[in-house]
């Protein structure tokens, strides 16, 4: 451990007036120095943030965070917002490397200081619904099964990502529950040493039959995609019947004791924006989180900007009915803005994909069903881990591929991006999206 005061650039970044004696590794605790120490700790937090932005070595970040934690243990909390943000960002970047004994050289860190701790794994390209905004009328070409990852391959790759600091894995699709060995995958991935949270995104059609095994495997969160509460509209949107089965799955997940149950609703003007308040009403007596997602453009879904209902408009509509909602504290990596209507057991969130991007805190990677790794949801670049794995690559070689892909991740989404229509997976789980001259928020 090296205190920031001993760093070669400390006096340059903080200034000579705040330099500490080299031998001093803690702050004095007497009342006379308390105010001075608090001010100094705030400046050190700011220094840590600036250093993280300017230097690349992981070691310096670990040292900064160790120092920040010592300050907190001594009761010297940051008193200004920028210092608090610096503290959170430094903690985020270091992640859980020390706790999981992750080799800093293998951490999935990009060139902008984002530490990737969240992996989404697509188990299949298949789905038992045909949602209009996801599936083009002519359908899509599915890859032959031999080109998709086997269960053993999924577990091996997932284990390597966990060893590199991933703490959360979400199983997605297509529709993951239609995979024949779905329960085996859940059990084996959920049992990986070091994995803290296993989550699932599903349309809920056949979720209820899997809930006992999911609960025993330690499933911590389930997101259920549902865009309407009206049976006839559900059939129009999904080209299938089954609303009652989805609603039953929501209740069954709560009864099974799944800790976090969320409902993902893509809001489209002229389609379902008239149901906003009905979805909010679901949270009155049930501890669920309803997430309203801004409609997004991509080839194949007949995009037109009037279809998008903005976060601001949705929030205004809800508060006109329920009054001001309390803003919940969002983690640094949260993609949603979270609120709780007064007196409700559940909560309401907004995913502002179009009006307010959330690239700065992105900690996500995506492993597609065919073994391709994507480091950005909206990026066109992919690298095949399947080919490397089947070509005899060692664990070390696979780690290197993942690390280098993460390092090359862009800082944020550009305004003009050319991407491909998603091969499968729905708006909540796009594999590759190509946006056409995105409107600027």
Residue 51 confidence class, pLDDT cut points 50, 70, 90: very low
Choose the weakest-confidence range: 90-94, 129-133, 134-138, 333-337. 90-94
Sign of torsion over alpha carbons 312, 315, 317, 323: negative
| Distance separating alpha carbons of residues 425 and 171, to the nearest angstrom | 12
| Cα→Cα distances 363→110, 199, 402, 411, Å | 10, 15, 14, 12
| Distance separating alpha carbons of residues 193 and 368, to the nearest angstrom | 22
Choose between 11 and 116: higher pLDDT: 116
| Distance separating alpha carbons of residues 185 and 171, to the nearest angstrom | 9
319 Cβ partners below 8 Å, 6+ apart? Answer: 325
Residue 298 confidence class, pLDDT cut points 50, 70, 90: low
The residue-averaged pLDDT of 34-55 equals 46
Choose between 411 and 229: higher pLDDT: 229
Q: What mean pLDDT value characterizes the chain?
A: 76
413 Cβ partners below 8 Å, 6+ apart? Answer: 357, 359, 376, 378, 435, 438
The residue-averaged pLDDT of 396-412 equals 84
Residue 260 confidence class, pLDDT cut points 50, 70, 90: very high
Residue 333 confidence class, pLDDT cut points 50, 70, 90: confident
Task: Go through the chain and tell me how many residues it has.
Answer: 441
Residue 111 near residue 407 (C-beta atoms within 8 A): yes
Confirm whether pTM is higher than 0.85. Answer: no
Residue 195 near residue 169 (C-beta atoms within 8 A): yes
Of 25, 65, 74, 75, nearest to 45 (Cα)? 65
For residue 132, is the peptide bond before it cis, meaning its omega torsion is within 30 degrees of 0? Answer: no
Beta strands in 57-206 (DSSP E): 118-122, 168-172, 197-202
Q: Identify the pLDDT of residue 372.
A: 95
With b for 16 or more beta-carbon neighbours within 10 A and e for fewer, the 246-263 pattern comes to: bbebbebbeebebeebbb
| pLDDT tens, position by position, 102-143 | 566 667 877 667 788 899 999 999 999 988 877 777 777 889
Backbone angles phi, psi at 231, to 5 degrees: -55, -45
What angle, rounded to 10 degrees, do the helices at 395-407 and 151-163 form?
Answer: 60
Q: Identify the pLDDT of residue 258.
A: 96
| Distance separating alpha carbons of residues 341 and 384, to the nearest angstrom | 44
């Amino acid at each position: 451990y090296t205190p920031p005061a001993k760093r070669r650039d400390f006096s340059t970044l903080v200034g000579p007036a705040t330099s500490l004696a080299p031998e001093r590794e803690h702050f004095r605790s007497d009342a006379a120095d308390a105010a001075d120490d608090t001010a100094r700790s705030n400046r050190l937090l700011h220094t840590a943030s600036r250093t993280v932005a300017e230097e690349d070595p992981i070691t310096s970040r670990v040292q900064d965070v160790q120092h920040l934690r010592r300050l907190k243990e001594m009761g010297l909390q940051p008193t200004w917002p920028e210092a608090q943000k610096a503290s959170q960002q430094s903690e985020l970047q270091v992640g859980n490397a020390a706790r999981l004994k992750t080799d800093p050289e293998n951490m999935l860190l990009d060139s902008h200081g984002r530490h990737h701790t969240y992996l989404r794994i697509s188990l299949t390209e298949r789905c038992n619904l045909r949602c209009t905004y996801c599936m083009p009328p002519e359908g899509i070409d599915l890859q032959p099964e031999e080109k998709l990852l086997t269960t053993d391959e999924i577990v091996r790759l997932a284990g390597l990502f966990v060893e590199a600091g991933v703490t959360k894995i979400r199983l997605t699709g297509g529709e993951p529950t239609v995979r024949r060995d779905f329960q085996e995958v859940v059990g084996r991935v959920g049992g990986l040493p070091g994995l803290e949270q296993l989550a699932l995104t599903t349309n809920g059609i056949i979720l209820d039959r899997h809930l006992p095994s999911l609960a025993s495997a330690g499933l911590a969160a389930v997101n259920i995609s549902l865009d309407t509460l009206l049976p006839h509209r559900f059939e129009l949107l999904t080209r299938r019947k089954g609303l009652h089965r989805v609603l039953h799955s929501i209740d069954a997940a709560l009864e099974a004791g799944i800790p976090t149950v969320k409902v993902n609703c893509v809001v489209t003007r002229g389609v379902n924006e008239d149901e906003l308040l009905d979805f909010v009403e679901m949270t009155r007596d049930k501890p669920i989180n309803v997430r309203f997602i801004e409609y997004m453009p991509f080839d194949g879904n007949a995009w037109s900007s009037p279809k998008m209902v903005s976060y601001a408009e949705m929030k205004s509509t809800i508060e006109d009915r329920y009054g001001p909602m309390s803003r919940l504290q969002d983690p640094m990596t949260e993609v949603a803005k979270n609120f709780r209507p007064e007196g409700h057991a559940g909560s309401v969130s907004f995913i502002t994909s179009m009006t307010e991007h959330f690239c700065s805190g992105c900690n996500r990677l995506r492993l597609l069903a065919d073994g391709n790794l994507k480091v950005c949801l909206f990026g066109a670049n992919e690298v095949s881990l399947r080919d490397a794995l089947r070509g005899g690559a060692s664990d070390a070689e696979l780690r290197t591929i993942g690390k280098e892909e993460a390092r090359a991740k862009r800082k944020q989404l550009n305004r003009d991006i050319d991407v491909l229509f998603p091969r499968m997976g729905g708006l909540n789980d796009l594999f590759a999206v190509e946006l056409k001259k995105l409107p600027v928020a």
